[in-house]
Structure 1
């Protein structure tokens, strides 16, 4: 996934979850934040950030904040890019050995999953979660309680019971992490649901990403640790 018209800036503050104030070229701009999560460990005053300039002159905000430098590590924080990167990645043959037809936003029963992959050999639902939270080189999800995330994992279990393959793909939007684990302190139920899903046969996969100011690409597998200390 590539961005166009990337500009560097300095983060100042975030009045609400949708916008931030960023200094760009000596001017203070109100920009759109493409992640409604808390991201408090990323968006700290003075942080180097990267923004994509919009080509739409009618927009209220001219820039989208998409990437941040956290202590020398670039972290993509665009909540829309993991699904797009996962679609490219699966289509390119990185998840399955055979060629598959991939459909985004596939409805099944009362559920809608991010991706559906099918071939003569398989029918698989894939739910994608972007991960931006990191501490001591460990990636964790979620950064806030997520009833929606629990529901998605439970629905993957139901897909398994109905004879489909089911995957939870955790797209870690950075390099250099040693493992992924649930954020037990923030949402214990999500971690317990992951454990339940793994026992039911849901494939829980984590991959890191090559992140540059103007692009993000899914790259290498990361160990998943679901045991709680």
Structure 2
């Protein structure tokens, strides 16, 4: 019997005219009582985010998202988290974040309780762990990691990055606002005091010791 050769299926175009699978990843937003968040410095040769700071994260295999979170926390950092102690705090939907045009959905979980101290268990993926103030995140950092942390701090549950905006096209040009006269100037009461933040960041190197 003659067989018809298979042809490669092209990527579906944007705009809802075709379906394309989205990669699902889970991320751990682990936050201490002092508010600092755990981030890892990715290995330069890591498949994603080399030499940048990122959540503890991983892709779902044949498992639920919570099972993936529990597994990745133990494999990457030696942390033990019970599924019932994790809660979904943010979802981020990205396109072309790492240059391959792949749409990705990231679920960000916060653990209410955990046991263990972060250790570098996979040195080919992560060089060190550090605890950082959300207002003073390290650089360079994965863009959607920063966006997710800022959104969580602001109480926003969802973020999109990299997708073309259709807001301007759907709404059309906006009408100019009616002028009602000059606005009274706001009285200045003097310079604002600023607090110099000099806290040092706790980091865990590849030996598992805290600096």
TM range, normalised to the smaller chain? Answer: under 0.3
User: With structure 1 as the length reference, what TM-score do the two structures score?
Assistant: 0.22
Q: Which has the higher contact order (CA 8 A, sep 6+)?
A: 2
User: With structure 2 as the length reference, what TM-score do the two structures score?
Assistant: 0.23
* Larger of the two Rg values belongs to structure: 2
